[in-house]
Each structure stands twice: as structure tokens, then as C-alpha cells.
Amino acid sequence: MAIDMEAMLAKIQDRQWALADIDWEAPGAETIRPEFRPKLKAFMTDLCWIENIGARGFAALAKKAPDPTIAEIYRYFHAEEQRHANAELALMKRWGMLEEGEVPKPNVNIRLAIEWLDAYSDDMPLSVLGTVIPMLEVALDGALLKFLLDSVQDPVCHQVFEKINNDESRHIAVDFEVLEMIGNASARRLAIEFVGRLATPGLILGALMYVPLLNRIRNEMAGMGMDAERLYNAVKRFQQLGERGERTPRVPAYKLLRRHGGWVVNPRHPYQLLANSMVWLSDFYPKALLRPMPAWSKELTHNPAA
């Protein structure tokens, strides 16, 4: 059944929340084990920057939305992803992982993703960006966030991520509804748009950024103890949600990311040699070639009033 986007927009507007709604001084911060803190800080740093990337993605999607209502929904999603990133920073501050005003630095793969988004995301067609964003959201919702909640007993963390998960569930519902709309185009139009973009610098550079970014995150999560089955189930959910629609499987970008997701979660696939080599090489990327961080990436704050 198609989603009533006007009703969805009203629900989104009604379910807004703020960092100030959370009691950041409540008991529970002491439940974080000292030996777990370094890995948890690295995990949370990646998570908050991925949310920041998601915010920029939704800002780009708002410019190419199929109608004004969906554009407004995307603008709310942009703000919500930014709020998620700030809430995750506030948790890090609560756990004593950040100094006053400190914002943790993104790893090189996230820096490159930020550069790519700043340079190319506004020019990406809806069918490409509208497929990548739900893939990242399903992975976050289905694997990373659930793994975090299984690993951390702090009740404030669970309160925060209950709100984040509720937001993400609405994001995913809209994401796949829009993919279904995209799939309504003729096969010829979908193929021309996809093939026409396949050899563009933006998409080539996007693939070179996307492959090591996913594998670095996958490897870091495995290092924290996340089992491969959890990530496999998240990717399988992306496939299942897409195949609920009649027309989503017709979208070439969906077909490609569905196949790629299977490679990412299979530790025995030859793809891992390529992807992990790209992760290794990215560590040698010359810092002098990294561009200054764009203004939109500097909105992170752990201030509860945000």
C-alpha cells in the first residue's frame, strides 16, 4: 500500500524531539567499562559522522524530490540526521570521551566521503542517491545501532537510540516508497539515466570512496565483536524491503547495491581483497590533498540545547 505522504509529513512534524528532552546527567554513565571506552569512542565517532553524511544526502535529495511534500519530508530528515549526530556526540561527552567543545575527527574515508558529497551529491540523479541513502540507513538501523544497544547498558543511551530508531523507521519507509516511485519510470529511461551516469567522474569517484568506507566500518565493527550474521541480516533486509515493492527491483542502482551488499558481508568473497586493499591504501592518502571541511560538516555539537 502506498504511503500517504501528507499524513507522513504530519506524523514527522508531530514526533520531533530535542536534545534538551534528555536528562544527560541521569545515572548510568558509569556502566561503560574502561577497557571498552577506546573502541566505543571510535565506534561513536564513525556513527556521528555517518549521520552527518546522511544529513547532507537528504539535503541533496530535497532538491530533486518528486513533489513538494516529499521535499519537505527530506528537509525534516536532514535536520533529524543532524540531531542524531549531535545526540551521539552528547553521549560521548556524557561518557567522558570528549573535552568541552571537542568534536572528534573523522577518519580519512569519511573525509573523502564528505568531499565527494560536497562536490557531487547535488548533481546525482534521484535514482542513485535515493538508493545509496536507504542502503546506509538500513545498515545503520539493522546492524550498527542494534549492536550498540546490545553492547552498552547505559539507560540514557537506550533512551536516545529509541528516539533515533523511531526516526530511522520513518526514513526507511519513505526511502523505499520513493524507490518504488522511481521504479515507475520506463525501463528505457531508467537504463539511459543509469548508463549515462556510470562513466561520469562523480559516480566513478563515488564508487572509489564508497567501497573502502563500507569495508573500514565493517572491519571496525568486527573488531568490536559484531558477528557477521548481524551485518548479513541488515543487507538481507535491504533486499527484502526493496522486493516488497513491485517496481523497486527494476531500478538499476538498487540491483547493483543489492549485489554489492552481498559481497561486503561475505568474508570469503574475492571482493574483500580489493576492498581491504583500498582501505589500506587510503591510510596513505596525502593529508595535503584533503580539502578544508565544508561549512555544513561543522554543525556538530554536543550542546543539549541544539
Amino acid symbol at 211: V
Q: How far apart are CA 231 and CA 227, in angstroms?
A: 7
d(CA 14, CA 281) in angstroms, rounded, equals 46
Write down the pLDDT at residue 306: 47
Task: Please identify every stretch of the chain with a pLDDT value under 50, giving residue numbers as ranges.
Answer: 306
pLDDT at 294: 84
3-state secondary structure string, 141-195?
HHHHHHHHHHHCCCHHHHHHHHHHHHHHHHHHHHHHHHHHHHCCCCHHHHHHHHH
Per-residue confidence (pLDDT) for residue 183, from 0 to 100:
87
Residue type for position 196: G
**Long-range interactions of 274-283: CB distance < 8 A, separation 24+:** 274/211, 275/211, 275/212, 275/214, 275/215, 276/215, 276/219, 278/208, 278/211, 278/212, 278/215, 279/109, 279/212, 279/215, 279/216, 279/219, 281/212, 282/108, 282/109, 282/112, 282/212, 282/216, 283/108
Distances (CA, A) of 280 to 213, 221, 242: 11, 16, 32
pLDDT in the model for residue 199? 64
Q: If you write DSSP's letter for every residue of 87-136 in order, what string do you get?
A: HHHHHHHHTT-S-TT--PPPPHHHHHHHHHHHHHGGGS-HHHHHHHHHHH
pLDDT of residue 1: 60
User: How far is residue 276's CA from residue 267's CA, in Å, rounded to a whole number?
Assistant: 11
What are the residues whose beta carbons fall under 8 Å from the beta carbon of 51, sequence distance 6 or more?
Answer: 81, 82, 84, 85, 88, 140
